[in-house]
């Protein structure tokens, strides 16, 4: 599992790992708010790396990537981070971008700035695609609303209590997920509070980007998502001309944690049919 590093348009160090065969179709994984590239879990990473060249990125401010003091409100920086990784990996076409939660917004940032020349398809998993007051593509659920603003606090007791309101939102009501739940909770706490806050302190409307998208998309969303409301997924599916939808009845915000096998089937089925 090679660990690699590149530099974004503003000089920020972006760290990512590469799994699978170098000559396979590139599949870039972009995690969510206050998480890291480890969120996917070994089973999902291995299941995808069997077929694809999986590139799991730590977003700026998260994991092993650098956490600059400013720049989180600039969509061009997020877009540039994705482009920097594609460029570093010599990928000029055929890639698939998969974004969970906030990762979907980063994909939209990239598409708005660079278009689809290097990308054959996108996968939006419990994702937002816009952010800001009144943006249907950024509608959050009850657990996220309950966590704000405490989840951004520098006081550890306040932050722990607020992030604890997520409960089993990231893992679902499935037995045997305790270790993963703790790891995801730990990643949230490890993300600097100022970064947690900065990611919400911006506005971006990408509905026009989705309407004009000329590549296929898979929208995968749990109907009981309490972090990103399923309405955001339905909004994206309605706007994207070549969208396929997989709405999981009863699933919460982490479908790849709740049912890794089903997640792999959905993603593989979509990617393998891109041609």
β pairing state of 13-19 and 53-57? antiparallel
DSSP category for residue 200: T
For residues 148-174, one letter each, b for 16 or more C-beta atoms within 10 angstroms of the residue's C-beta and e for the rest, the string is eebbbbeeeeebeebbebbebbbbbee
- Separation between Cα atoms, residue 249 and residue 238, nearest integer Å: 18
Instruction: Answer whether 18's CB lies under 8 Å from 2's CB.
Output: yes
Name beta bridge partners: 119: 95
Q: What is the DSSP string of 206-255?
A: -HHHHHT--S-EEEEEETT-SSB-HHHHHHHHHH-TTEEEEEETT--S-H
Per-domain residue ranges of the chain:
3-272
pLDDT digits (tens, 9 = 90+) for 44-65: 999 999 999 999 999 999 999 9
CA angle 100, 151, 5 (to 5 degrees): 50
β pairing state of 243-248 and 26-30? unpaired
**Which CATH superfamily groups domain 3-272?**
Alpha/Beta hydrolase fold, catalytic domain (3.40.50.1820)
Question: Which tokens sit at 130?
Answer: 């816009």
Rg (CA), the chain: 17
Q: How many residues does the chain have?
A: 275
How distant, in Å, are the alpha carbons of 115, 169, 187, 189, 201 from that of 34?
27, 14, 7, 8, 14
- Separation between Cα atoms, residue 1 and residue 210, nearest integer Å: 33
Cα–chain-centroid distance for residue 273? 22
Question: Which tokens sit at 167?
Answer: 């409960």
Residue 150's φ and ψ, nearest 5 degrees, are -55, -35
pLDDT at 174 (0 to 100) = 66
pLDDT digits (tens, 9 = 90+) for 189-236: 999 999 999 999 999 999 999 999 999 999 999 999 999 999 999 999
Residue 250, Cβ density class (10 Å: 0-12 exposed, 13-18 middle, ≥19 buried): exposed
- Separation between Cα atoms, residue 112 and residue 142, nearest integer Å: 29
pLDDT at 262 (0 to 100) = 98
- Separation between Cα atoms, residue 230 and residue 255, nearest integer Å: 13
Ranges of residues in the chain with a pLDDT under 70 are 1, 172-174
- Separation between Cα atoms, residue 58 and residue 29, nearest integer Å: 9
Instruction: Answer whether 34's CB lies under 8 Å from 67's CB.
Output: no
pLDDT at 204 (0 to 100) = 96
């Amino acid at each position: 599992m090679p660990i690699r590093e590149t530099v974004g348009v503003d000089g920020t160090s972006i760290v990512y790992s590469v799994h699978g065969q170098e000559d396979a179709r590139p599949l870039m994984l972009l995690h969510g708010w206050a998480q890291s590239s480890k969120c996917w879990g070994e089973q999902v990473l291995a299941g995808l790396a069997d077929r694809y060249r999986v590139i799991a990125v730590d977003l700026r401010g998260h994991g092993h990537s650098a956490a600059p003091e400013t720049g989180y409100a600039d969509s061009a920086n997020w877009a540039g981070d994705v482009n920097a990784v594609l460029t570093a990996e010599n990928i000029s076409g055929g890639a698939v971008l998969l974004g969970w939660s906030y990762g979907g917004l980063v994909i939209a940032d990239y598409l708005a700035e660079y278009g689809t020349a290097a990308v054959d398809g996108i996968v939006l998993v419990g994702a937002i695609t816009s952010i800001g007051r009144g943006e249907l593509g950024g509608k959050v659920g009850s657990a996220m609303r309950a966590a704000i603003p405490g989840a951004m606090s520098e006081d550890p007791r306040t932050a722990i209590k607020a992030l604890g309101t997520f409960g089993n939102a990231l893992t679902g009501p499935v037995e045997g997920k305790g270790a993963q739940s703790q790891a995801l909770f730990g990643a949230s706490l490890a993300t600097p509070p100022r970064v947690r806050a900065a990611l919400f302190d911006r506005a971006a409307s990408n509905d026009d980007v989705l309407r004009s998208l000329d590549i296929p998309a898979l929208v995968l969303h749990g109907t009981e998502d309490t972090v990103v409301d399923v309405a955001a997924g339905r909004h994206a599916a309605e706007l994207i001309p070549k969208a396929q939808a997989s709405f999981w009845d009863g699933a919460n915000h982490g479908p790849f944690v709740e049912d890794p096998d089903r997640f792999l089937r959905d993603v593989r089925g979509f990617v393998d049919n891109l041609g």
